[in-house]
């Protein structure tokens, strides 16, 4: 049988006090309550295992202490957005930093930007971290809300009064391209589900890092079932390259699985490099080489900036965070394919190709 919940009125009756006095102690309003009474109430609350009504406490205070983290439930996540490596790492880091700063974190998954305004108002939020929406939606939010908010990876041509915390996507791609070039790769394939915004910047960076090498782009479907069919039909095209740069660790790991499923070895037959440095990159086989972005650093910045915004002292509208290369087992120097390709190219130029 479930134990009866201890109420404020129960504590008040046992101590011979008014419910208002007990409530004031619980809510921290103790200026007009004697120290002895405060001690008696706190001791009995602990003894009886009183569980506070946090909603009531927050409503009774002028500031809620709540920072909302809103994530766009984009269709490409297929209903599993919080399982995405980048999203889960971001939430984990934000949870730790907000807890250190004495805030409560409220996570909300939404598809309609206008719902953010309602949620923020309903919970009397002190600030927001918003992930995954579009430029026009961020500007509309800025017009509708007066509470401070920061944006993760907003692709904004004009930031205005919006603080955008973005990583150096181009620089990360360049580092990946430079590394593959140094390892001897001259024919690299880039895969992504689009060629716009941050993914385009990553691919453009890789192409410049490769320099005089070849870096082609192949757009893959957003839905998993469609990607399965896509890889089945395009594997011959993919294996013409010596390395693949995937714009996310998830797509990199999925490709490795598809290659292994067809008897191809990574990195012996194909090198693969990802982007993000998800926590499981060391757990897959081979361990995944990738471009690291630091979720902890971004979370610390987000919380610090929200505090400064609340005080009216923060003026920057965009912060670019650096990325770095993490070398693991999924990249090696190309073996036979480069020699084969060079000979094949020579034959084609001479007109001896069997094609």
2 found inside a domain: no
Whether the model clears a pTM of 0.85, i.e. scores above it, the answer is: no
- Looking at the fold, whether 308 and 239 belong to one and the same domain comes out as no
Tell me how many degrees the CA angle 214-230-216 measures, rounded to the nearest 5. 10
> pLDDT tens digits, residue range 258-299?
999 999 999 999 999 999 999 999 999 999 999 999 999 999
- CA proximity to 132, closest of 76, 174, 171: 76
- Looking at the fold, whether 269 and 303 belong to one and the same domain comes out as no
Report residues of the chain scoring pLDDT below 70: 1-4, 51-63, 157-160, 315, 336-355
133 found inside a domain: yes
Given strand 66-72, what is the order of strands in its sheet? 104-110, 66-72, 127-131, 149-152, 163-167, 318-321
Cβ distance 13 to 59 under 8 Å?
A: no
State the pLDDT at residue 355.
Answer: 41
| Domain housing 35 | 8-60
311 found inside a domain: yes
354 found inside a domain: no
State the pLDDT at residue 353.
Answer: 44
- Looking at the fold, whether 46 and 138 belong to one and the same domain comes out as no
Coil/strand/helix, residue 191: strand
State the pLDDT at residue 161.
Answer: 72
Tokens, residue 29: 């309003």
Which CATH number fits the domain that encloses residue 44? Answer: 1.10.260
- Looking at the fold, whether 222 and 88 belong to one and the same domain comes out as no
- Residue 36 CA to chain centroid, in angstroms? 49
Query: What is the C-alpha to C-alpha distance for residues 127 and 69, in angstroms, rounded to an integer?
Result: 9
- CA proximity to 26, closest of 2, 50, 62: 50
Centre a 10 Å sphere on the Cβ of residue 114 and count the other Cβ atoms it contains.
11
355 found inside a domain: no
Under DSSP, the state recorded for 281 is G
What residues does 250 pair with on adjacent strands?
none
- Looking at the fold, whether 196 and 265 belong to one and the same domain comes out as yes
- Looking at the fold, whether 81 and 148 belong to one and the same domain comes out as yes
How many domains, in total, are found in the chain? 3
Examine the fold and report which residue of 28, 43, 60 is the final residue of a domain before the chain moves on: 60
What residues does 127 pair with on adjacent strands?
67
DSSP secondary structure string, 143-169? HH--S-EEEES---S--TT-EEEEE-H
State the pLDDT at residue 144.
Answer: 84
State the pLDDT at residue 1.
Answer: 39
Under DSSP, the state recorded for 30 is -
State the pLDDT at residue 50.
Answer: 75
- Looking at the fold, whether 73 and 111 belong to one and the same domain comes out as yes
> pLDDT tens digits, residue range 36-49?
999 999 899 888 87
- Looking at the fold, whether 134 and 163 belong to one and the same domain comes out as yes
- Residue 99 CA to chain centroid, in angstroms? 18
> pLDDT tens digits, residue range 91-119?
999 999 999 999 999 999 999 988 998 88
Q: What are phi and psi of 244, to 5 degrees?
A: -125, 130
Q: Is the dihedral of CA 85, 175, 259, 265 positive or negative?
A: negative
Give the CA radius of gyration of the chain.
Answer: 27
State the pLDDT at residue 350.
Answer: 61
Query: What is the C-alpha to C-alpha distance for residues 135 and 112, in angstroms, rounded to an integer?
Result: 14
257 found inside a domain: yes
State the pLDDT at residue 348.
Answer: 52
ω before 200 within 30° of 0 (cis)?
no
Which CATH number fits the domain that encloses residue 277? Answer: 3.40.50.2300
- Residue 289 CA to chain centroid, in angstroms? 19
Query: What is the C-alpha to C-alpha distance for residues 50 and 42, in angstroms, rounded to an integer?
Result: 10
């Amino acid at each position: 049988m479930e134990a009866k919940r201890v109420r404020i009125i129960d504590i008040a009756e046992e101590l011979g006090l008014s419910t208002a006095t007990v409530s004031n102690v619980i809510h921290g309003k103790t200026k007009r309550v004697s120290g002895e009474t405060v001690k008696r109430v706190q001791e009995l609350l602990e003894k009886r295992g009183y569980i506070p009504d946090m909603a009531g406490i927050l409503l009774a205070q002028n500031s809620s202490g709540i920072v909302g983290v809103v994530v766009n439930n984009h269709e490409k996540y297929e209903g599993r957005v919080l399982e995405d490596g980048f999203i889960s790492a971001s939430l984990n880091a934000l949870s730790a930093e907000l807890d250190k700063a004495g805030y409560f974190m409220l996570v909300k998954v939404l598809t309609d930007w206008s719902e953010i305004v309602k949620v923020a108002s309903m919970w009397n939020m002190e600030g927001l971290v918003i992930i995954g929406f579009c430029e026009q939606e961020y500007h509309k939010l800025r017009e509708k809300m007066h509470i401070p908010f920061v944006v993760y990876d907003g692709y904004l041509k004009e930031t205005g009064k919006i603080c955008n915390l973005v990583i150096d996507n181009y620089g990360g791609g360049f580092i990946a391209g430079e590394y593959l070039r140094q390892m001897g790769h001259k024919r690299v394939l880039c895969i992504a589900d689009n060629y716009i915004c941050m993914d385009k910047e990553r691919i453009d960076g890789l192409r410049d890092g490769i320099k005089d090498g070849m870096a082609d782009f192949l757009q893959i479907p957003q839905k998993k079932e469609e990607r399965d069919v896509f890889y089945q039909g395009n594997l011959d095209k993919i294996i013409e390259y010596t390395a693949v740069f995937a714009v996310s660790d998830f797509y990199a790991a999925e490709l490795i699985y598809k290659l292994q499923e067809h008897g191809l070895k990574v990195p012996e037959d194909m090198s693969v490099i990802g982007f993000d440095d998800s926590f499981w990159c060391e757990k897959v086989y081979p361990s995944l080489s990738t471009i690291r972005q630091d979720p902890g650093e971004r979370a610390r910045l987000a919380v610090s900036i929200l505090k400064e915004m609340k005080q009216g002292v923060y003026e920057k509208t965009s912060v670019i965070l650096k990325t770095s290369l993490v070398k693991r087992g999924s990249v090696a120097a190309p073996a036979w394919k480069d020699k084969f390709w060079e000979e094949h190219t020579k034959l084609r130029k001479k007109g001896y190709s069997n094609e």
